[in-house]
Structures are given as structure tokens and as C-alpha cells.
Amino acid sequence: MGLDAGAGAAGMLNDRDFDTVRELIAHYAGIKLSPQKRNMVYNRLLRRLRACGTASFGDYLALVQARDSSEREAFVNALTTNLTAFFREPHHFELLASHAQARAGQRQPLRVWSSACSTGEEVWSIAMVLREAGCAADIVGTDIDTEVLKTGSGGVYRADRVEGMAPERLRKHFLRGTGANDGLVSVRPELRTGVRFGQLNLQSSAWPAQERHDVIFCRNVVIYFDRESQNRLLARFADLLLPGGLLMVGHSESFPAAHPGFRSCGRTAYERLAGP
């Protein structure tokens, strides 16, 4: 009998398996799933059960936990929330534009890190702002989810994703698809200059070596971390931000306010102070 949502024991996520899911995603990605996320977990992992041909959640989780498992990455990808949009929370991009305009004409690029970039709309929004300001850019987008990184680095989106963008901005930064690509848009080659993507787990004990940044975006991700993890991440951001640099966080997040090295400089935006 095949696996069917809502049909028989094979289609059910029992308490033990749900607890195992919560433990694994906390271990692999630092994400703390609440008990209220059970339906979300069920729906997302059910697709992976079908893809792998496993008969139950228990069997699937055993596959995830197997040594050198090739399914572990897909498990993390499935449970990662990737809600994003171009110029989401526009006040951050207005502040970024002011920061960039002060640097316009300088040869040293403005280094910006989108630390949970999802499908890349945040990265390309940053790139548009810096290009419009005449500011040289060095932009990196990272995420734990390898599938969304493919979309971000590809820079191709459905046309409805850019419907709210001003026509002149759309013409300047995007190419419209034709023929088989009708209904799609692609970022222009000149916008890709100075932009790169890579995988990174913010909860990893070691990050790749990187230069200090002028601006870090970390929006709507630490809500899934416990307080200890938030504080640890904030300390690492403080080390990586230049004095006067900016940290942009999500609309419901205020965790940088607890760190003496930051001061509020706008709505959900914080400036890195000089000193330790």
C-alpha cells in the first residue's frame, strides 16, 4: 500500500517521531521548533517520505540519521522557512542607500553580508541600492538551504515577484524573458558584479574566514533560536562589523539592543560602536 496523507499509520507523525524531528533540526541547524509546528513538519516531511520511498516517519528519520546520510541536507532544506521578497521592510534599504551615498565614488567597495538570504531577493535588492547610489559593492549572500541558494545565485524569478517594483528600477536591473522564458525576469549581468553566494549555517561552531563587513542583514531568522544562541550569534556579528557598520534585523526582533557594542539607529537597525 502506498503512502497517503492522512491514511493509516504510515501517514502519521507520532509523538516520538515529532520529538526526534525537533531534536535533529535543533542539532543540525539550531532551529527550535515549537509544538505548534507539528502540522508544518508533517506536510513538509511527507514530501520527503514520498521522494525517498520510505514507509513511515520512523524509517525516514532513521535514513536522515544514518552515517554519511545524503538525505540530511534535504531534511534541513525541507524545514527551513524561506519567506522573502524584493525590498522587504523598505526602511532598511532607505538606510542602506544613505550609508552607500556617503561612500559613493570611493574605490573601496561597501561590504554587505546577507546572512540568511533565502532565494536571493534580499541580496539583489541590496545590489540594486548600491548600484543606484554609485557605490562599489562586495555582497555575499549565505543560507543553510542549498536549494534556495541555487535560485538566488541564478537570479531568475517569476515576473509577479517584481510587480511592485518601480518601472524604471525594473528596466535598469532586470531583463524580461521571451519565448520559452516568457513570464520570467533575470537580473542583468552588470548587477551581478561583486555579488556571490555560499552555504553557511549560522549556528555552526566555525565560519569560513571573512573580512569585516560594513553592513550585515540578519532578518527574521533568530526568532527560531533560543536566547543563548542569539547572544552567541550577536557576539560574532559584533566581531565582524566595522565601527559605524550597520546590523539590520527583522521587524519583530530586538536582540542587538542587549549588546553594549550596538546602539539603535532606526527601526530594527543598529550601529556598531567603536571599541571592544
Q: Is residue 143 annotated as a catalytic residue, yes or no? A: yes
Query: Are the C-beta atoms of residues 130 and 123 closer than 8 Å to each other?
Result: no
- Exactly one of 17, 143, 145, 214 is catalytic; which is it? 143
pTM of the model: 0.79
Measured CA to CA, the distance from residue 59 to residue 53 in angstroms comes to: 10
| Digit-coded pLDDT (tens) for 47-63 | 899 899 998 999 999 99
Burial class from Cβ neighbours inside 10 Å (0-12, 13-18, 19+) for residue 214 reads buried
Which residues partner with 176 through β-bridges? 185
Residues of the chain within CATH 1.10.155.10 domain(s) are 9-79
Query: Are the C-beta atoms of residues 135 and 238 closer than 8 Å to each other?
Result: no
Q: Into which CATH architecture does domain 90-154+191-272 fall?
A: 3-Layer(aba) Sandwich (3.40)
Measured CA to CA, the distance from residue 252 to residue 230 in angstroms comes to: 14
- Exactly one of 44, 50, 72, 161 is catalytic; which is it? 44
Segment among 99-103, 182-186, 261-265 with least mean pLDDT: 99-103
Grid coordinates given for 61: 528519520
179, pLDDT greater than 50: yes
Query: Are the C-beta atoms of residues 226 and 216 closer than 8 Å to each other?
Result: no
Residues of the chain within CATH 3.40.50.150 domain(s) are 90-154+191-272
- Computed over every residue of the chain, the mean pLDDT equals 89
| Digit-coded pLDDT (tens) for 221-259 | 887 788 888 999 999 999 999 999 999 998 878 889 889
- For 9-79, CATH gives 1.10.155.10
Q: Is residue 214 annotated as a catalytic residue, yes or no? A: no
Q: What is the pLDDT, as a whole number, of residue 83?
A: 64
| Digit-coded pLDDT (tens) for 91-120 | 999 999 999 998 877 789 999 999 999 999
- As a whole number, mean pLDDT of residues 148-153 equals 95
Grid coordinates given for 190: 552588470
Measured CA to CA, the distance from residue 216 to residue 111 in angstroms comes to: 9
